Structure 1
Amino acid sequence: MNTTDLLQQVAFIKEIDKLKYIQRRTKLFNSDRHENDAEHSWHLAMMTLVLAGHADKPIDVLKVIKMVLIHDLVEIDAGDTFLYDTSKNHINTEEERLAAKRIFGLLPEEQAKEFMAIWEEFEEGVTDNAQFAKAMDRFEPLLQNTSNNGGTWAEFDVPYQTVYNKKKAIKNGSATIWNYAEVLLNESVEKGILRKETPTGTAE
């Protein structure tokens, strides 16, 4: 590493401060304040440390932490995509890829390649590490919404089956955490904070 590398790294560090200004739709636990992307990423990193023992397959905890800290940096350029927004593609949008190249490109070449590879691995969601990282990414807002009387589910009238379909990715990383998440979803229906539809499509 040399002075040029350091200056590039500092430029990257300054740039990612912008993540603190990207507001998410979900709110803090038992709160009316919206979470920002930096808070979300920090929470996922802590969750990885705490919950890694529940992973179904051996994972590299440091690698997963890197994934959850890096995965939303693209939203500095691309903005936050709401999970239940049906008008946008949630899988590797070209907008996000361009953002990744620009933001990671601020780093020295080898680090830029490493960060890009980590981001791509998370987005593809195939490896054991990526599946656990995605489980954390799906689990945190579920916990937030159950603490906030339905949160975004209630606010945007998202039905149970849609939530279930989005959240079942948790199972790929941890059956134990998914079983717990299913209980929370069912309890949310019973409490009336998550709408469940009958087979005819009408709300129960």
Structure 2
Amino acid sequence: MQAYVDFVMELDRLKGVTRKVKPIGLDRYENSAEHSWQIALLAASLAHLAEEKVDVSRVVAMLLVHDVGEIDTGDAIVFAEGGWEERKAAEYEAVKRIFGHLPEDRGAPFLALWREFEAGETADARFANAVDRAMPALLNLANHGQSWRENGIAFERVVARIGPPINAGCPALWAYMLPQLEIAREQGWFGA
């Protein structure tokens, strides 16, 4: 039992990983645990709109583990350019360490889900990636572009970074978001 308690106590540290976008109506930045919880529920509610049939329980589990490595590496804004290969290598080492708290037969499935998410090759992973990429933009749309303006993120960078994965995993979500992003651009909610 101690291994499971140690694992979940290690996961508690995800609550201390600060992201770049603020929750609606709050004057603080969200943390990675909040992000994972929110996108898991978004995925569960949108699963019927996925490009291909998905296993909702696998998608939710994937989204709950996808940012666990940030306990060691911290968060990088999704709209950042460059350095992703090094970052993902560091995250892989982190998730191996964190899932290593568990007995092998319990940790290995979590690691496999993390790797599947990162590869983005299955229908479940494509849909999970779509939802993950959508949430920061949805929060920015609700917050008048707060993190885009604070971090100098241009409209073109947002569309290039999130458009392809959202459209690949959930075209209906991208069809909704693109016009919203264009309105936000007209309203000056993006950085230079």
TM-score by length of structure 1 reads 0.89
Over alpha carbons, which structure has the higher Rg? 1
1:157 counterpart letter in structure 2: G
Residues 1:186 and 2:182 are matched in the alignment = yes
Residues 1:41 and 2:47 are matched in the alignment = no
Deviations 1:126-178 (CA, angstroms, capped at 9, x unpaired): 11000110111111111110111112111122111110011111001111101
Aligned residues: 191
Matches within 5 A, 1:48-127: 48-89=43-84, 93-127=88-122
Give 1:86 shift. Answer: 2.7
Give 1:91 shift. Answer: 7.3
Residues 1:176 and 2:166 are matched in the alignment = no
TM-score by length of structure 2 reads 0.94
CA distance in 1 between counterparts of 2:83 and 2:24 reads 27
Give the secondary structure class of the aligned counterpart of 2:107: helix
Contact map agreement 2:78 2:133 (CA 8 A) in 1: no
Contact map agreement 1:18 1:76 (CA 8 A) in 2: yes
Q: 1:166 aligns with which of 151, 161, 165?
A: 161
Specify the alignment match of 1:145 in structure 2: 140
Give the secondary structure class of the aligned counterpart of 1:23: coil
Give 1:120 shift. Answer: 0.2
Residues 1:25 and 2:20 are matched in the alignment = yes
Q: Which runs of 5+ in 1 are unaligned?
A: 1-5, 196-202
CA distance in 1 between counterparts of 2:82 and 2:49 reads 34
CA distance in 2 between counterparts of 1:92 and 1:113 reads 21
Which is richer in helix?
Answer: 2
Q: Which runs of 5+ in 2 are unaligned?
A: none
175-184 vs 80-89, which deviates more? Answer: 80-89
